Structure 1
């Protein structure tokens, strides 16, 4: 099922003032809007028909008809993908909302994936001489988690926590290498500097970001978008980290399946080595 709320969240930054006005109307009246003609909607929302058409295309729909279908499929439960937490609620009720928010982030993210991007990403990873994982701040945790996972494969993977060491590693990349770069905003100047070095060296770039139209996204050979929304008690980046980690886990799983027996041997050797560290 298409997720209108997820598409809106991913593309919000590129919308004009009038398009944001339309978005607010659609979020408040999605079921009503799904039955309106484009002219009726433009009148009800106080925007032009051109704005409605442009809005639909900016969200990735072919035309207004596609937007109408998505609105009709969307759940009728308010404007937000993620529920706010009431400080007067019980701990169990709060916990339920935290889990629900993470589940929603994952569902919205998987709905944004496409088969071509996944296939391309896996082919690039399997064909790479080296795979470098880069991330700054919270995204560095995601990169480290990816390194921990990809060490279980036959692929040559590298990771550095220090930004200067990341710059040095990126400088050594070639057209035979792949960099996986994680940045929630896609606008961090240090992340952009890393991406530009990778691009200049001819390395292929897989970008994981929360902004599909960011400066970083424009440099990507493959773009994977993590969908999240900020709430009063939790930043957007924290929701996004769950989705980013899962996207990396997805890449690991898809590539591992393709490595076959060679991958199985490496995994068995890893398990044997780690097993020897445990007390008998």
Structure 2
């Protein structure tokens, strides 16, 4: 698998949000990736039937500097690998499924890294350090991420509250004055329950850390900090992009967690050791 295949996946996933002429160009590149590397911008315009200006806009849409950068991204493409950007198909072998999912996972992590700003991550860690209580919520698959936050931070001695009962989560926000923070996870940033809890947290003057793909969403707009995750949308019935978006969220939580550990490494490792010994003593004893 080449790194260049991630650019094919990016093109494939962004096509639905592009103009008609950009879609035409994208389809041509997906079907003739190796040839495009040898083309000048004028030759690509002629072969694909679009203007040179469309090619420049297309590259910008992919967050690339221009056509030359696009060619560099495509330079490592192998004909046998090109279909890996496509969704899992009924006829795929297990090996092909493995390669497709590995590619999507790689693409998701790369995209997340490009979007995340170190300063924002450190600000999130600072809020978590100051908080005596961490409230965390996500609905559906996002609850898996919320559970991961709960498991990680409770083991380093933080009071971490997580429940699927939104009414109880709302009541928890009324705890007596003590430093608190709320971590909310929503891929779209528009999940009603998540947004409402965020609004209540803001009313209670509790800072909100949001994990979402869309900073302009309702959740993104109300949050104190927004940690952007992979924004790849799933346009197919099998929704493999939804799986990799989940991995992107878990990856961001890992970044925050290990950065948090660094801030007081000795004490945090001591807490981890104590929690591990406690579990080992009471729940893993051999009879």
Query: TM-score by structure 2 length?
Result: 0.75
Q: Please tell me whether residue 62 in structure 1 is matched to residue 65 in structure 2.
A: yes
Contact 1:22 1:47 in 2 (8 A): yes
Residue matched to 1:73:
76
Aligned length: 273
Residue matched to 1:205:
209
Shift of 1:169: 5.2
Q: 1:233 to 1:224 in 2, by over 3 A?
A: closer
Alpha-carbon distance between aligned partners in 1 of 2:173 and 2:64, rounded to the nearest angstrom: 36
Shift of 1:240: 3.1
Alpha-carbon distance between aligned partners in 2 of 1:194 and 1:42, rounded to the nearest angstrom: 50
Alpha-carbon distance between aligned partners in 1 of 2:158 and 2:46, rounded to the nearest angstrom: 57
Alpha-carbon distance between aligned partners in 2 of 1:5 and 1:217, rounded to the nearest angstrom: 29
Contact 1:19 1:52 in 2 (8 A): yes
1:268 to 270, 273, 281: 273
Instruction: Show structure 1 runs of 5+ residues with no match.
Output: none
Q: 1:152 to 1:61 in 2, by over 3 A?
A: same
Shift of 1:221: 2.7
Contact 1:21 1:45 in 2 (8 A): yes
Alpha-carbon distance between aligned partners in 2 of 1:21 and 1:166, rounded to the nearest angstrom: 48
Q: 1:64 to 1:151 in 2, by over 3 A?
A: same
Shift of 1:263: 0.6
Residue matched to 1:109:
108
Shift of 1:271: 0.7
Alpha-carbon distance between aligned partners in 2 of 1:202 and 1:12, rounded to the nearest angstrom: 39
Contact 2:108 2:244 in 1 (8 A): no
Residue matched to 1:40:
43
Shift of 1:71: 1.9
Q: Relative to structure 2, which stretch is displaced further, 264-273 or 31-40?
A: 31-40
Q: Relative to structure 2, which stretch is displaced further, 241-250 or 128-137?
A: 241-250
Contact 2:125 2:259 in 1 (8 A): no
Residue matched to 1:254:
259
Alpha-carbon distance between aligned partners in 1 of 2:11 and 2:256, rounded to the nearest angstrom: 25
Contact 1:178 1:204 in 2 (8 A): yes
Alpha-carbon distance between aligned partners in 2 of 1:49 and 1:106, rounded to the nearest angstrom: 33
Q: Secondary structure at the match of 2:85?
A: coil
Shift of 1:9: 5.6
Q: Please tell me whether residue 133 in structure 1 is matched to residue 136 in structure 2.
A: yes
Alignment root-mean-square deviation, CA: 3.6
Instruction: Show structure 2 runs of 5+ residues with no match.
Output: none
Greater gyration radius: 2
Q: 1:58 to 1:83 in 2, by over 3 A?
A: closer
1:279 to 242, 260, 285: 285
Query: TM-score by structure 1 length?
Result: 0.77
Q: Relative to structure 2, which stretch is displaced further, 118-127 or 222-231?
A: 222-231
Q: Please tell me whether residue 240 in structure 1 is matched to residue 245 in structure 2.
A: yes
